[in-house]
A and B are shown apart, each in its own frame.
Chain A
Amino acid sequence: MSARPMRWFWFSSPHTFFPLAGSIARICALAAAVLCVAGLYVGLFVAPTDAQQGEAYRIIFIHVPAAWMSMFLYVVMAFWAAMGLAFNTRLSGMMASALAPTGALFTFIALWTGSLWGKPTWGTWWVWDARLTSELILLFLYFGFMALKAAIEEPRRADRASGVLALVGVVNVPIIYYSVKWWNTLHQGASVSFTKAPSMAATMLVGMLLMALAFWMYSIAVALTRVRCMIREEER
């Protein structure tokens, strides 16, 4: 034994994690609110009007960060699922299942705002573009994870079974993306051009990054609060 034992698993016990999660959630919720106000201000008032798309482009300040988070959260969820399966820690499964609804929410927001943007810009609510299609399938994967979790009554088995599903899913996500991309180039004509405006104004980028950070903080706050609820429910 080393003189100073590493306490890697100190916070993996629900008891010690509960107060920590509370204070982190509070800080992150505050940060999310501040960043969101700042990001929306930059996005809606400071950033210039786009030469080609007019004012309609401003939905990207919600759309792009939501799409980033939707994919990132799936990977984080799979990470916690792997931790749960490897170390058999109760908290990891809770983290994974706490992230799933937020991830599904962001996936849905990305799809929804995407079609809001598509109607004035492309003239259609939906195209079978590779990114749209794989985002839709990602939403199905989130739903599958949550449905499996909800269908199993015993919490340990629910955590581990949905963990295996999350890992299978995360291996499949890139395969799905590339297959859909290929399918898209095979099937779709050049009716819609996806080349964006050549370069982005600096203020647009700042607005988008602020919103991405805000969504990030929001995800942490909401997921940790959900974990706290789960711990409460279990200790009852």
Chain B
Amino acid sequence: MARALDAARSLVRRDLLLALRRKSDVGTALLFFVIVASLFPLGVGAEPNLLHAIGPGVIWVAALLSSMLSLSRLFADDHADGTLEQMLLGAAPLGVVVAAKAAAHWLVSGLPLVLIAPLLAIQYDLSASLIAVLTLSLLLGTPVLSMIGAIGAALTLGLRGGGVLLALLVLPLYVPVLVMGAGSVDMAAAGLGAQSQLLLLAAMLIVSLAFAPWAIAAALRISIE
């Protein structure tokens, strides 16, 4: 048990270090998030009431797309240089290994989104309490995106046109997170309280943390054999 946790910790540290050495990758996905969210007012008009209404949904959809961008690289680099095979052969349970990889993916691509989202919410003129709800919903929801996305990344590992295929596989599965995430802000805006939606997001997070590593590990074993 302690050995497995050690392996997970050092794997997260290694992935973070790798991400730190290639800052541009992280920056690109973040920039994509900001640009997509900034394009919508240009498309639909800058009418404040309209922006209030679409703001949470737009920010959430932009977060979905942006966290998906970096998914195809989640296992690809390790697969290319053979590290992934060593991880499969190693003593640490594969479920722990892939959970650590997904956690590192979230730290690199999900957490920055959560931190920058309040800034975008100000662009949409959301009130301070709504910004807090939005940030909290992203904090609970983006790890689920990383876990589900990792399943898709493992299944499409090494395939031609993997990126587009990955989007096709993963986006329908993101629907509940999107609905609950954007819904929580809408509920709060309507004065109904966001608690129920946030609790459901937390439930999804727990369920995905418990079950997604199995699916990711199974998919990886199939993809590499």
A residues apposed to B, CB below 8 Å: 85, 137, 140-141, 143-144, 147-148, 151-152, 157, 160-161, 164-165, 167-169, 171-172, 175-176, 179-180, 182-183, 186-187
- Taking a contact as CB atoms under 8 Å apart, the answer to whether B176 and A172 are in contact is yes
Cα(A141)–Cα(B172), bound, Å: 7
Q: Is B171 located at the chain interface by the 8 A CB criterion?
A: yes
- Taking a contact as CB atoms under 8 Å apart, the answer to whether A172 and B173 are in contact is yes
- Taking a contact as CB atoms under 8 Å apart, the answer to whether A151 and B159 are in contact is yes
Cα(A176)–Cα(B183), bound, Å: 14
A160 neighbours in B (Cβ, 8 Å):
222
A183-B183 contact in complex given A151-B160, A164-B215, C-beta closer than 8 Å: yes
- Taking a contact as CB atoms under 8 Å apart, the answer to whether A143 and B168 are in contact is yes
Q: Is B165 located at the chain interface by the 8 A CB criterion?
A: yes
Cα(A213)–Cα(B158), bound, Å: 42
Q: Which of B162, B165, B168, B204 contacts A140 (CB 8 A)?
A: B168
Q: Is B87 located at the chain interface by the 8 A CB criterion?
A: no
A-B contact list, 11 entries, CB within 8 Å: A140-B172, A144-B169, A147-B168, A148-B165, A151-B156, A152-B159, A157-B222, A160-B222, A165-B155, A179-B179, A180-B179
- Taking a contact as CB atoms under 8 Å apart, the answer to whether A183 and B173 are in contact is no
Cα(A119)–Cα(B204), bound, Å: 37
Cα(A147)–Cα(B172), bound, Å: 14
Q: How many Å from the CB of A141 to the closest CB on chain B?
A: 5
B123 neighbours in A (Cβ, 8 Å):
none
B173 neighbours in A (Cβ, 8 Å):
168-169, 172, 176
- Taking a contact as CB atoms under 8 Å apart, the answer to whether B183 and A165 are in contact is no
Cα(A56)–Cα(B153), bound, Å: 46
Cα(A165)–Cα(B204), bound, Å: 18
Q: How many Å from the CB of A191 to the closest CB on chain B?
A: 17
Q: How many Å from the CB of B101 to the closest CB on chain A?
A: 17
Q: How many Å from the CB of A113 to the closest CB on chain B?
A: 22
Cα(A182)–Cα(B192), bound, Å: 14
Cα(A117)–Cα(B187), bound, Å: 32
Q: Is B82 located at the chain interface by the 8 A CB criterion?
A: no
- Taking a contact as CB atoms under 8 Å apart, the answer to whether B179 and A182 are in contact is yes
User: Closest B-chain residue to A150, C-beta based?
Assistant: B165
B148 neighbours in A (Cβ, 8 Å):
168
B186 neighbours in A (Cβ, 8 Å):
186-187
A175-B222 contact in complex given A140-B168, A151-B156, A168-B151, C-beta closer than 8 Å: no
- Taking a contact as CB atoms under 8 Å apart, the answer to whether A148 and B175 are in contact is no
A165 neighbours in B (Cβ, 8 Å):
151, 155, 169
Cα(A76)–Cα(B128), bound, Å: 48
User: Closest B-chain residue to A175, C-beta based?
Assistant: B176
Q: Which of B165, B171, B175 contacts A151 (CB 8 A)?
A: B165
Chain B 188-221 interface 0/1 with A at a Cβ cutoff of 8 Å (1 = within): 0000000000000000100000010001001100
- Taking a contact as CB atoms under 8 Å apart, the answer to whether B222 and A161 are in contact is yes
